[in-house]
Amino acid sequence: MGLSDPFVAASVQMDIHIGQIAANVQRAVALLHTAADQGARLIVFPECTTSGYCFDSLDDALPLAIPRDDPALHPFVSACRERAVVGILGFLERSTDGGVYNSALVVSGTEEMEHLYRKTHLPVLGVDRFVSRGDDLPVFHASGLNLGALICYDVRFPEAARVLALRHADVIALPTNWPEGAESAPAYMLRARARENGCYIVAANRVGFENGRRFIGQSQIVAPSGEVLAQAGTDEETIFAEISAHKARRKRIVIEPGCWEQDTVGDRRPELYGELTA
C-alpha cells in the first residue's frame, strides 16, 4: 500500500533534551500520533532528535550513539507501522564497525521497511566535529514516494540536492538543528534548493536551548515552485502542507507554450560543469 497523491506532510519542531534518549523518543512518538491524527502521512523530525547535538567531545557523545536497530528506536518504528506513515527521525548512530554518524532513520510504515541516511557534509559545530561523514546520497522508494534525505549543513551544498533530484527525488526530507546564526537557511536557501530542483523540501528544525545555544525554529515545507507552503514560528510544534509527487515529477514549467518554457533539470549542460567534481 502506497501513499495517495496528493497527501499531507508534517514537519515536527520539538524541543530536545540532551542525553535523554527514552524521553526524546517518547515525545517524538506522541507527536507522530498527533500529526497522523491530523492526516499527515510523511512526518519529519529534527536532526539528533534522540540524543541532542551540542556535545563537547566524542566521549560525551558516545553513550548516546546507538545502532540503527537499537531497542530505543523500536517505539518510533512501531508507531510508523501502526499509523502507516513514513517517518524520518534524526539520531546519533553507532555503526557495526564502531563508527559514529549523524544519521536519519527513514521508516516506511506501510511496507515495514527502514532505510538509513548518514550526513555527508560536516561543519565545525556540535557533535559534527567528532563524527564520521557518510558517503552516499541515496533516494529511497517509500510507499510509492521517491524520498531523498539531507541533514542540516548538507543543504548548503547545491550539488547534494541536485544529485537527489537527478535520482528522481520527489521530496527532500531535511532534519536540521539551526541555531542562532543560521537564519539564511529558512530565509532563502530552502526556496532556492526547491525551485532549482523542482522538488519539495520538508525541513524540521528544533527549538529550545542546549549547552548555551538557542535554536531558531522556523521549520518549513517548500513547494517545487519555491513557494513556502508552511513555516513555523518559535512556538509551533508541528506544521502541515499538502504534497503531490505528481507535481514534483513535472520538471518542465510552461508559462507560454513554445514562447516561455523552462526546465532547470532537463536543460542542464553537464559537459560545462567539470570543475564541480574536480
Active site residues: 47, 119, 152
CB < 8 Å & 24+ apart, contacts of 159-167: 159/276, 160/120, 160/121, 161/193, 161/196, 161/197, 161/199, 162/196, 162/197, 163/137, 164/137, 164/139, 164/197, 164/199, 165/197, 165/198, 165/199, 165/265, 166/265, 167/137, 167/138, 167/139
Please name the amino acid found at residue 74: H
Alpha-carbon distance values, 24 to 6, 11, 15, 36 (Å): 30, 16, 9, 18
CA 257/CA 266 separation, integer angstroms: 17
The three three-digit cell numbers of residue 177, written as one number: 538543528
- Rg of the chain on CA atoms, in Å: 18
Alpha helical stretches, state H, 47-141: 58-61, 74-83
| 8 three-state secondary structure | strand
DSSP string across 114-175: EEEEE-----SSGGGGTSBPP----EEEETTEEEEE--GGGGG-HHHHHHHHHTT-SEEEEE
